Amino acid sequence: MSEEKLRAQPAQAPAAGSPLVLSNRILLLMALACGLCAGANYFNQPLLNSIAQAFGVPESRSSMTVTIAQVSYGLGLLLLVPLGDMLARRRLAVVMMMLAAAGLFLSGFSASFSWLLVGTLMTGLFSVAAQVLVPMAAALAAPGASGRAVGLVMSGLLMGILLARSVAGVLSEIGGWQLVYRVGGVAMLLVALALWRSLPDVPATAARTGYLSTLRSLGGLLARLPRLRSSALMGGISFGSVSVLFSTMALLLAGPAHGLSDMAIGLVGLAGVAGALMANVAGRLADRGWGLMTMRTSGVLLVAGWGMLWLGRDSLAWFLAGILMIDLALQGIHISNQHVIYRLLPDARSRINAVYMTCYFGGAALGSALGSMAWQYGGWQSVCLMGAGLGCLNFYALWLDGRYAKRVALA
């Protein structure tokens, strides 16, 4: 099959009369599951001081849990998500969620810091169950509604990330930091069991191959599918630009210009909830054929948002407007990208998602490092220039993606 045909191949739709099309109730359940999986990796961030005191370790050591959560999640993207093309996705997602719950319980009942690290690693590694559920939503959506399905499930994932820190802070205040992990583990198990009862039992989409062959195929997909390359580049740059903000905003808001407390800074971050709602809107626009326009508009909004954040150095109102703008832009780009890549090669959705999300979070890690460097050498102005610079670089990826889209349309 030619490269052009692979790129243009439409998403598979369930057969007429098939029970495989997902209902709104099941989509909402999948969104909840994705939110729990994503949020589980962010529980520890507001708890670092309490963890350090509980185990008598320095805060610099307790922050290792954040690094381990990120690294283990990245490993899960590369090593586990591709299994979604080899194995039945319902069983894979449920088993992974149960293992993630085991990691949460291990953390919640840990008697030593070492066991907490093991629990954190388990949770991060297996919480990539969310990245098995997202392409599953695209595969089982009604014809012409895959963008809406992905947007709805991704809204749940993003809400989980945004709310995890706030929920962790409240539960820790009520019953101590370990209560956060225990409640999270129970919730993860209950939702996993609900998924087992509700999700259709869909067989593997690809021919059964060896695990190492499946991993090697990731590079082949990246080489064969130009729009996967442009989408991965666009997603990585966009998330990198936003991560420049996330890695430095607390430093600005806690400083003399604003003087906010940790709780107030957390509430400022909730301005991004509107961005999570944008995921659903972007999915519907993609279903109507407006994906490219949404991406281009979002690219402009991303750069404009950094202009507002520049003014936010001395004005909290401008800062809130800026964080809202760039989060809306990120979700517009991200959901539109997913709508594109899930239609490239339906039998390889999980592997394609693994490639894309690895680049996506790789961009975030790079953006965080660049943001910290910019703050160290030039303060908030340098941070804004760095973020806006990455946003402008994104226009190259948008131009590249537009060329590939035209090539497919003419084929």
Each residue's pLDDT tens digit, 330-356 = 888 988 898 889 888 878 888 898 899
Residue 216 has pLDDT above 70, yes or no: yes
The mean pLDDT value of the chain amounts to: 83
pLDDT of 328: 87
Domain ranges across the chain: 18-205, 207-411
231 vs 85, residue with greater confidence: 231
pLDDT of 166: 75
pLDDT digit string (tens) for 239-288? 889 888 877 887 788 788 888 775 676 677 677 676 667 777 777 887 78
Phi first, then psi: give them for residue 358, nearest 5 degrees. -65, -45
pLDDT digit string (tens) for 156-211? 887 887 788 778 878 888 888 899 999 999 999 999 999 999 988 776 655 566 78
- Fold of the domain spanning 18-205: Growth Hormone; Chain: A; (1.20.1250)
pLDDT of 396: 93
Tokens encoding 199:
């999700």
pLDDT of 265: 67
Mean pLDDT score, 118-134 = 93
The percent of residues in the chain predicted with pLDDT above 70, rounded, is 88
pLDDT of 2: 38
Q: Among 92-101, 259-268, 371-380, whose mean pLDDT is lowest?
A: 259-268
Cα separation values, 143 from 11, 45, 85, 121, 160, Å: 8, 40, 21, 38, 28
406 vs 320, residue with greater confidence: 320
CATH of the domain spanning 207-411: 1.20.1250.20
pLDDT of 210: 76
Mean pLDDT score, 213-222 = 86
Mean pLDDT score, 93-109 = 96
Tokens encoding 81:
């998500």
pLDDT of 262: 58
pLDDT of 152: 82
pLDDT of 269: 66
The percent of residues in the chain predicted with pLDDT above 90, rounded, is 33
0.85 exceeded by pTM: no
* Equal fold, 18-205 vs 207-411: yes
pLDDT confidence of 97, banded at 50, 70, 90? very high
pLDDT of 13: 39
pLDDT digit string (tens) for 2-61? 333 434 343 343 443 344 567 888 989 999 999 999 889 888 877 777 888 889 988 667
